[in-house]
Structure 1
Amino acid sequence: MDTPPMQSDAAPAVPAAAVDYSNLTTDLVIDIQGRLAFVDRLAVGAVFGAAGHAVKPEAPWLVLPGETPETNRLYSVSDRLVTTARAPDPAMRGCCVVGSSGGWVVTADRRAGLHMVNPVTGEQLALPAITTCPFFYITNPTWPLFHVNILQDQLIRVRCGGGGGENEKIHARLPLCTLVADQMVGWVYRKVVLSASPRPGGYAAMLLLDLDRHPGNPAFATSDDPTWRVASSPDGIEDAIHHRGKFYSITYSGVVEEWDRRDGPSSNEFTSRVVSPKPAKGGGDNHHHRKNYLVAAPGGKLMVVTKYFKVEDGEFSWQTKRRVCFEVQVLADEEKGGRWRRKASIGKMAVFVGASSNSVCLSTKAHPELRPDSVYFAADELAKGPFCRGEDGYHNHRNGDDKKKVVGVYSLKDGARADGLPELGDHATWPPPAWFTPLI
């Protein structure tokens, strides 16, 4: 078999061979997987999976920048190990992860291009160019000086559902926005959510676009309609997931919506309907930088996980620190219109959230290596880093201030200070780390 992109640099290449693995017994497949090092486990698991064997699902891994553009660093939560792996070219070479789901990640490059890639197998596909959306066009096309121009007034008019009167006047006053191509990451591209089992030639994607004072503009593209189409969302979308075969989102006002094609599977336009009331406002009164994530529990129930920073005052103003905290609400009685219940504990479950990740909730019975009743978190925003004029994507903060914790784990039961992942330290780097669940 070919050497997979995510095989450790230290591992020798395995020559291709025409071997029929379908005749292996299930017990033998499990035994082989259990004897392998954590990166090789993915490579061999991909081969067994292709041969029709059921392999044990992996807990999320973390993608981190490597020491060179040709490499990434990978962290396995289950194994608590980090390794260096080759970055598939071009989809992950020098790119920033802006989404992940179904075993795939979505990356953005310095030319504003979006790519879908399976980090385990290296299979990849270029997603539609942003210029397929009529509100974006390119000028000065010679790299590296070309610019992306955004017709903000027209885009926001569609996002707000058209209308007229005072809204029409506000839209008309929005100026043309022009960015260097590498500024699209962090300034405009916030997150891409893929369908549950995407593949080249058969995918659906939801792109969240941020504009000045107008965040969370949704756009959709599919393999049978490779064009980004902005959809109506007057409140703006804070987070989204793919669940039960559809896209779900939570707006900045707290409403959860379900998205579907307007006129059935053959339609190229997406519309939404409200599926829940607003959850209670999380984070208490003494908070800073509240962020809501939408998550689906193993049983299918929707949850809202709220990340916020509790401000702790010191004796002097310069000693003020922020402590990261999380709260969880679960949607109950969904068939009756739904009501949100705040949960002090999620029991034997662990949640993974992050700006560039499709949020995931796993049973710790099935994954005993994970900490139960906990939230594993990565960066909650795509800071404006080196793609944007070489700036440092994250600011330095005082020692003990959780704001600088880009990755970590928080115990809901204890409610104590979040722990970092000791194998990683405080990764205040660009691109920010992102969770993905290997699909093998």
Structure 2
Amino acid sequence: MEACSLARTIGLWSLPIHPRMFFSTVFRVLPKLLGLPPSLMKKFLKIKHEHIHPPHMEIEVGGSPELPHELLVDIFALLEIPDLKRASSVCSSWRSAYTSLCNLGLYKRPQTPCLLYTSEYAGESVAFLYSLAEKRSYKLTLPDPPIHTRYLIGSTNGWLVTADERSEMHLLNPITCQQIALPSVITIEHVTPIFDEAGALSKYHYSRHTGSPRLSRFCSDQPSILALAELRSYLHEKAFVFYDAYAGGHIVVLIHSPYGQLSFARLGDDKWTWLSQHSFFHDCIYKDGLLYAVTSQGKILAFNLRGPVVTTELIMDITKDFTYENIYIAQAPCGGLLQVWRTQETSEYVEDADPATYLTNTANIKIFKVDTMAEKLVGIDSLDGHVLLLGLNQTLYLSVEEYPHLKANHVYFTDDCELYLFGCQNNRRDIGIYDLANNTCEELSPQLWSNWPNPIWITPSLTRL
């Protein structure tokens, strides 16, 4: 488990910025906290601003009135994490308030999702957060192995799931820099290590068997031999980190090849547990102590992972014959389930053409309520003041009342097509915003990101595991 130093934490947000921005935010929320009349606040702000003139946040803010520590903690609890992290670097008293906020577990403010991406113009350990709230990017310096060398295979509750150059997986919180190694990939049912004469791991055997007799007829009897870095292009598909309140711990769930199978591990486990009887999964959520997983044909299964034996319940049977869409599952505010079908169009294949000209684009998104009583899907045309975020992240269904910087009745999407991502790593990514009212797409921003590693949605978090 690795955490970044204080110096590194401050360095994550070392963009030039004027402290006036922080004071402006602070005093915007003071009337609400103190119950002060506007006239008195204006007078106080006038005095305050007369003492603010330093050009960078790294220098001490001297000569300004000190706010009580407890009041600063209350104010900081209202800031989004990018502002909070930068505020913590202004001076020692603000750093102290930030530390108290984190250590006491008082920071509960909902965070607007960001796009995490890398840039070819930055170092190998540097990533960026593009804030949907502020429409600007923040620089992050992350622990080894370098983020540019990893595959980004999942994002849940502020945590990335990555695969390194040995195809081993880690959890990484890009805000706190805490990092946790997951059970070795050689403990997954389909992977066997190959050692050289010196006893060092050199390659992997990768098997394509399944627990389904029907599918086993089509599986090759001979495992493939893959280089250490090569396995992740064949095995890893999508990963999640869920909190199990009943067990008081976290569960990591991996959708992996062959055939979109499921394995899981609790933090602290030394191996992965294979759920062998089902395949072709696209997405998962964790709800009311159960793991809900949807297949490429819209079938939904619920797994109870708590007992000594995993039990399975069929929630919705197959709803479609064809599997050309990406399928997602989300929890609606009422507690029900949604299915989302995303269709992507690909450019026409031209022999001998530059591979970079092969592109995919989101063409259509359909949303359905899951009616478990009638055992059918009910199409809906509007999200009623909500938004969706799709990609390799856990699918998010958010209220614009709680996240006012997001566009109601829109879907924010990133690339998650396995074949396109791993087969065309340097091609333009399919990232944008889909308007459900008129079925059109718009750019998220002028392209800031490198095409690889693939950009991914993440909700910043200060949570430590």
The TM-score with structure 2 as length reference comes to 0.73
Deviation, 1:49, is 3.7
Larger Rg: 2
Match of 1:401 in 2: none
Cα distance, 1:236 vs. partner? 2.1
Q: Deviations over 1:106-155 (max 9, x none)?
A: 111001110012211111210000112343122255899922112323xx
Which residue identity does 2:12 align to in structure 1?
Q
- State which drifts further: 104-113 or 186-195: 186-195
What is aligned with 1:349?
A: 386
* Segments of 4+ moved more than 6 angstroms: 11-15, 41-46, 142-145
Structure 1 residue aligned with 2:23: none
Assess if the C-alpha contact under 8 Å between 1:101 and 1:196 holds in 2. Answer: no
Larger mean Cα displacement after TM superposition, 99-108 or 133-142? 133-142
Structure that is richer in helix per residue: 2
- Residue 189 of structure 2 is aligned to residue 185 of structure 1: no
Number of the residue aligned with 2:75: 28
Asked if structure 1 preserves the Cα contact closer than 8 Å seen for 2:429 and 2:454, the reply is no
- Alignment-mate amino acid for residue 333 of structure 2: P
Alignment of 1:282-361 (within 5 A): 289-309=324-344, 324-332=363-371, 334=372, 336=373, 338-354=375-391, 356-361=392-397
In structure 2, what residue type is equivalent to 1:291?
N
Partner of 2:447: 424
Give secondary structure in 2 for the equivalent of 1:28: helix
Inter-partner Cα distance in structure 1 for 2:296 and 2:234: 18
Unmatched segments (≥5 aa) in structure 1: 16-20, 283-287, 396-403
Partner of 2:456: 434
Alpha-carbon spacing, 1:144–1:95, altered in 2? closer, same or farther (3 Å): farther
Amino acid aligned to 2:86: D
Which of 114, 122, 128 is the matching residue for 2:177? 122
| Whole-angstrom CA distance in 2 between matches of 1:209 and 1:324 | 26
TM alignment of 1:41-52, pairs within 5 A: 48-52=101-105
1:70–1:93 contact (8 Å) kept in structure 2: yes
Whether 1:138 and 2:218 are equivalent positions in the alignment is no
* 1:75 to partner: Cα distance: 1.0
**CA separation in 1, counterparts of 2:269 and 2:169?**
16
Give the equivalent residue in structure 2 for 1:285.
Answer: none
Distance 1:40 1:272, change over 3 A: farther
Among 95, 99, 108, which residue is 2:154 paired with? 99
- 1:7 matched to 2:12? The reply is yes
Q: Give distance in 1, aligned partners of 2:327 and 2:87.
A: 34
Identity over aligned pairs, percent: 19
Q: Which residue identity lines up with residue 254 of structure 1 in the other structure? A: G
State the partner residue of 2:43.
Answer: none
User: Aligned partners of 2:170 and 2:140: how far apart in 1?
Assistant: 19
2:284/2:291 contact within 8 Å kept: yes
In the alignment, the residues of structure 2 paired with residue 302 and residue 357 of structure 1 have an alpha-carbon distance, to the nearest angstrom, of 17
Q: CA deviation at 1:329?
A: 0.7
Select the residue among 99, 117, 135 that pairs with 1:80: 135
Q: How far did residue 246 of structure 1 move? A: 2.8
Q: Does 1 or 2 have the higher relative contact order (CA < 8 Å, sep 6+)?
A: 1
Distance 1:233 1:169, change over 3 A: closer
Partner of 1:18: none
Given the two structures, how large is their TM-score scaled by the length of structure 1? Answer: 0.77
Secondary structure of 2:370's match?
strand
Task: Report the aligned-residue RMSD.
Answer: 3.7
Distance 1:180 1:270 in 2: 33
Distance 2:456 2:166 in 1: 21
Contact kept? 1:195, 1:246, Cα under 8 Å: no
Match of 1:228 in 2: 272
SS in 1 for 2:116: strand
Distance in 2 (CA, whole Å) between partners of 1:220 and 1:35 is 30
Q: Evaluate the alpha carbon distance shift between residue 169 and residue 405 of structure 1 in structure 2; reply closer, same or farther with a 3 A threshold.
A: closer
Is residue 416 of structure 2 the alignment partner of residue 411 of structure 1?
Answer: no
Cα distance, 1:368 vs. partner?
A: 0.9
What amino acid sits opposite 2:267 in the alignment? S
Tell me the SS of whatever aligns to 2:229.
helix
Shift of 1:191: 1.0
CA contact (8 A) 1:2 1:14 kept: no
2:40 is matched with none
1:371 corresponds to: 407
**C-alpha displacement of 1:338:** 4.7
Map 1:377-392; keep pairs closer than 5 Å: 377-382=413-418, 392=424
Amino acid in the other structure paired with 1:407: I
Provide closer, same or farther for how the CA distance between residues 148 and 34 of structure 1 changes in structure 2, counting only shifts above 3 A: closer
* Structure-2 residue corresponding to 1:399: none
For residues 193 and 177 of structure 1, do their structure 2 counterparts lie closer, same or farther at Cα, with a shift above 3 Å needed?
Answer: same
Instruction: State how far apart, in whole Å, the 2-side matches of 1:119 and 1:38 are.
Output: 15
- Count how many residue pairs are aligned between Structure 1 and Structure 2: 390
Aligned residue for 2:243, secondary structure, equals coil
- Secondary structure of the corresponding residue to residue 75 of structure 1: strand
Partner of 2:145: 90
Q: Write the distance in 1 (CA, Å) between the matches of 2:301 and 2:59.
A: 47
Structure 1 residue 206 and structure 2 residue 253: aligned? yes
Structure 2: which 5+ residue stretches go unaligned? 17-56, 61-67, 90-94, 349-356
Please state how far the C-alpha of 1:379 moved relative to its aligned partner: 0.8
In 2: Cα distance, 1:238 partner to 1:229 partner: 18
**CA contact 1:295–1:303 (8 Å) conserved in 2:** yes
CA deviations 1:5-35 (Å, max 9, x no partner) are: 78224367799xxxxx98347753356x379
